[in-house]
Structure 1
Amino acid sequence: MRERFLLPVKWLAGALPGVPELYWRWTHDRLDPYPDFKLDRLAAALPGWSRAVERQSRGLEAEPPKRVAIFAFLHWWIAHAASLGLVLRALGHEVSLFGLSYRDWWVPNEPFYLRQRGAYLRDVMSLGGSTLPFIDLTADRGRGLPTELEQAMAAQSEIDVQYTLQREDLDFGRHEEQAALYSLRLARNRRLAGALRRMLTRERYDALIVPNGSILEFGAAYRVARYLGIPVMTYEFGEQRQRVWLAQDDEVMRHNTDPLWQALGERPLTPSQADRLRELYAARQGGRLWENFARQWQATPPKGSQALRHELGLDPQRPVVLLATNVVGDSLALGRQVFSKGMADWLEQTARFFAERPQVQLVVRVHPGELLSAGQPSVEILESALPELPEHVVVIPPESKLNTYDLMDLASFGLVYTTTVGMEMAMRGVPVIVAGQTHYRGKGFTLDPASWDEYFALIDRQIEGKAPDRLDGTQMELAWRYAHLFFFVFPRPYPWHLRSMWEDLDERPMEAVLTPEGIAPFRETFKALSGDPLRWDDVA
């Protein structure tokens, strides 16, 4: 009864200046931190981190000072961005952290609770003192946007809907849920764009650092910086601990390895590099953890291709084509279309194409990551394209424990959108046709059509035996060189992974990193994040 009475009162109070903030400060000692916006560990750590910066920065060799802004939202990213900002501060830079007190990105915010979280966030960040100034952009509406930024926010908001619902085909006229989510995302992206544009034009900054840079407010912030011509660094974490992906004036999730490949692609692998890559490849194939990689890539060890052929009921007289999907709506696949509308459209059209070619067997390996997806499953896309599945089209669902590397051994050639499976098939000598704008496209060991006509013609050439059925030694060597660079050079050293941040900080505390010996393995990474040009020939 009390809560039913308080709810309308809080809705009204949310519009009154200072009331939610006053309520927070009156009650917060008796309340647990917000379960969906927890900053208690950051609150406990910030005073010590700030003291470490003030005490130990004098013992570090300072970098030429820059004025750096970092943008973050969502409580886990805010905590991580704070640690990053303090390291840059210790290295001599002037750093400001811009943030938002949103707890998520898909639910409208009740003004009362939003402003309470804002008070909580500002109170926590104040524990760092003046070492890391924090600017809360949540209430800043900014000004109207120029046409180019309006268009950029509309494009970003559509990507956000695809990412959130994990489906690529959108129809705002027919689906109220999609339309409502698009309106929410557009309003929030516009609001951030206006506020950030005002802050970045009012004060001069040498660089803006943004996590991810492709989705949600992270994508909006990236687009604002690009519009204003401010150098923008994006970063994200993959499967390796103590490593970070980073990009300069680019979306890091696009994994643009062109500069790396241009700098180092012609260098042959040393024997030790080749051995290390073989060890990693064997671990990936065998479903084992390896070194600092924090995931197992297969659920079961390989059985052997012939055992798998028998299990799947495949005809040994007909060639097998392996199609490996991405997760629909994943940020590694969104916006990567070359000639299709997206991954889902590519999958649908390819399935229909093979339905008319019974002389080959198409095996579709659905990405295991779809087990965690609530969006449009690849199996559903295939069922829509082929309501009656032909006997020569085999679909392996995401929950299957079959080892994908056994499938590679069966394949005459492979079809991929952006998944790393394409690179790994090429490492085994299997020809691969790449349909999406993936990082290994155009590196000399894949077939890279630019149109539907070219794509289907390449498939027919492979089926008819008019193209080589194996990659030659030079192409395989390129694939191995590239894989080494992608796995071992492209991810840069970094002390604290996002997913294991607090465990990593226990093992490698802020005070330990802020010493000449502690910062040495990571200095070049922090220099690149602050805007120094990343020279791959210097970091390999």
Structure 2
Amino acid sequence: MRLGFVSIYSFRPHVEHNAYLAALARQAGHDVRYLTCDAQLPHCYARALKGTTKFVECPKCIVGGVRSFASGHVCALPRGGVRLDAARAREFAFSSTCTVLRTEPSEQWQSVEFRTLQDSFAAAAARAYEGARAWIDRERLDALICFNGRFEANRGVIEAAGDAGIPFLTVERTWFGDGLQFAINDNCLDLKQLDRLNTRFRDVPLSERQARRVARHLAARFLRRNDKEWRAYNRGAQATPWPAASTGAGPRVLIVPSSRNEVDGHPHWAFGWPQLTDGLDAVLATLGADVRSAVLRCHPNWGERIGLRTGELSERYYGDWARRRGVHLIGSRDRASTFDLIAQADVVVVTGGSAAFEASALGKPVISLTASTYRSAGIAVTAPSADDLDGLARRIELPARERMRGALRYGYTHIYRFSQYVDYVKAVTTTRYRYFDGADPQRIERMLRSGEVEPDDPTAADGTGG
């Protein structure tokens, strides 16, 4: 096969991940070509996020991009390809716009600021699409491999591949660092592959070795030593008693919402609530929970600056709701231990966030108001609309032991089955990696031809107890 590798941005470690995959492809006998930006885009996610100019950002991106590992068959975005219509360009620009502005709730999508930035990203998506179509046709590519696929330029590239009739993979950093994460013919927000693997392995017992491997990751999160995750939160947390006055009317409910700005716009992550706070109201009412016994823990991420923005819009959105309803509010910068709160709660409500992993590991019932990476793993009840609340109290009644077992199985599937090349791509830090010989170079082609991510570790325990 003739494979095209695309790295528009020089984000680390994604450039070297592409270099590793290109080396595997050559090892398997494939012909390899490269596409990069070389300052051809009128605007881009990196510049908007940091507030930098083309003269500051583009030279760094050129030096740190594809050309830092490949000298031959490297092409800057050409011209002369098929043009992208304006409506699709704006669609491809939507996710980058949400993330840069850290929007919440959806009403902000109608603001002048949002529309202006979306228009500038749409021009970049259109330029990337045009260049990618010309490159794909000229190089007669059989398939394409691209970082992320969600940001505006990358989205333009993978949509060009789809329209040209060739399959593509998008590559991302994994949750815990080791290995690589793939989506097939979709961007990094795709849930199909993980849904399939979670469904396949949710009732499959783990061996003692497998259980110990995933337990180490859980322990690292509880001890806040998970320093290879892209972002680790709640460092320096303080022991925290349950802060709301218990009235005895219904369960203690801990609400741990996450930001939506990185997943909004992808159909797998859509929900049916008018607003997610409407979902919170409905869940509390269905559970018979007194709002005075509920706690809303703002995500620590909201207190951090990413680029030019903090998560103040998300914190204001959920904070205003909590104050109106009389729910006890813990701010994003508060050092209260989220894990202590989970341990004392009767029910944990999330919006697709990873707190469900720890909560289920502690045997707690979890309700997610949106889709999630664990929606097919059995560790949470997914309720993306009012229609999904029927029999909610009964559906969350599982023995704590089953929830704990489910958490380990989900964790193992995500970390050691969905993630690929785990034993050969090893994170030293969040951005530094080591690579080892011995990985199967044919797996790339198999994924492209089959349309499926195969389990990195397909083994299971003998018996039924693990």
TM-score (norm 1): 0.69
Deviations 1:122-180 (A, max 9, x none): 998398443xx11100x5253333x6xx5443222122211111104466896332222
Paired residue type of 1:413: V
The letter for the 2-side match of 1:70 is F
- How far the C-alpha of 1:402 sits from its partner, in A, is 1.9
Alignment of 1:141-540 (within 5 A): 142-145=81-84, 151-169=87-105, 175-255=111-191, 256-289=193-226, 296-300=232-236, 303=239, 308-309=241-242, 312-315=243-246, 317-318=248-249, 319-331=251-263, 336-340=269-273, 345-347=275-277, 350=280, 354=284, 358=290, 361-373=293-305, 374=309, 375-385=311-321, 388-391=323-326, 393-455=327-389, 462=393, 469-471=397-399, 473-474=401-402, 476-492=404-420, 493=422, 494-495=424-425, 503-504=432-433, 508=434, 518-521=436-439, 523=441, 534-536=453-455, 540=459
Letter in 1 for 2:168: V
SS in 1 for 2:382: coil
| 2:168–2:448 Cα contact (<8 Å) kept | no
Give yes or no for contact 2:364–2:403 (8 Å, CA) kept in 1. no
CA contact (8 A) 1:321 1:360 kept: no
CA distance in 1, matches of 2:335, 2:57: 47
TM-score scaled by structure 2? 0.79
Distance 1:189 1:487, change over 3 A: same
Where 1:226 maps in the other structure, the secondary structure is helix
Shift of 1:236: 0.6
**Structure 2 residue matching 1:272: 3-state secondary structure:** helix
Could you say which residue in structure 1 is the equivalent of 2:463?
A: none
Q: Deviations over 1:48-83 (max 9, x none)?
A: xxxxxxxxxxxxxxxxxx210011112235565345
The farther-off stretch of 274-283 and 166-175 is 166-175
Q: Which amino acid aligns with 1:324?
A: V
Structure 2 CA distance, aligned partners of 1:129 and 1:156? 30
Distance 2:336 2:58 in 1: 49
Contact 1:106/1:164 (<8 A) preserved: no
> Given that residues 9 and 46 in structure 2 are in contact (C-alpha distance below 8 angstroms), is that contact kept between their aligned partners in structure 1?
no
Amino acid at match of 2:8: F
1:98-117 matches, cutoff 5 A: 98-102=35-39, 104-105=44-45, 113=55, 117=59
Instruction: Determine the C-alpha separation between the residues in 2 that align with 1:119 and 1:244.
Output: 22
Greater RCO (Cα-Cα under 8 Å, separation 6 or more):
2
Q: Does the 8 Å contact 2:369/2:383 carry over to 1? A: yes
More helix, by proportion: 1
Between the two proteins, the alignment pairs up a number of residues equal to 440
One-letter identity of the residue aligned with 1:94: D
Q: Distance in 1 between matches of 2:66 and 2:189?
A: 30
Report the AA paired with residue 72 of structure 1.
Answer: S
SS in 2 for 1:257: helix
Offset, 1:185: 1.0
Secondary structure of 2:343's counterpart equals: helix
Cα displacement (A) at 1:321: 0.8
Q: Aligned partners of 2:37 and 2:150: how far apart in 1?
A: 17
Instruction: Indicate the SS of the match to 1:338.
Output: coil
Specify the code of the residue in structure 1 equivalent to 2:425. Answer: P
CA distance in 1: counterparts of 2:370 and 2:25, whole angstroms: 36
User: Can you give the 5+ residue segments of structure 2 that lack an aligned partner in the other structure?
Assistant: 460-466
2:75 alignment counterpart: 135
- Structure 1 contact 172–179 (Cα < 8 Å) conserved: no
Q: Which deviates more from structure 2 when the two are superposed, residues 375-384 or residues 528-537?
A: 528-537
Find the counterpart in structure 2 of residue 75 from structure 1.
10
**Structure 1 pair 474–538 and aligned structure 2 pair: CA distance change class (3 A):** closer
Deviation at 1:111, TM superposition (A): 11
Helix, strand or coil for the counterpart of 1:261?
Answer: helix
SS of aligned partner of 1:478? helix
Identity over aligned pairs, percent:
19
Q: Deviations over 1:262-318 (max 9, x none)?
A: 44333211122223333332331122348x667655424673xxx512xx2432634
- 2:368 and 2:381 in contact (8 A); partners too: yes
Q: Secondary structure at the match of 1:433?
A: strand
Closer, same or farther: CA 484–120 of 1 in aligned 2, 3 Å? closer
- Cα distance in 2 between the residues matched to 1:88 and 1:207: 12
Name the CA distance, whole Å, in 1 between partners of 2:79 and 2:25.
Answer: 26
- Conserved in 1, the CA contact under 8 Å of 2:276 and 2:369? yes
Q: How large is the Cα RMSD of the aligned pairs?
A: 3.9
The letter of the residue matching 2:67 is: M
Structure 1 distance, partners of 2:382, 2:174, is 26
Task: Supply the distance in 1 between the matched residues of 2:455 and 2:65 (Cα, whole angstroms).
Answer: 41
In structure 2, the residue matched to 1:20 is: none
Secondary structure of 1:299's counterpart equals coil
CA contact (8 A) 1:302 1:405 kept: no
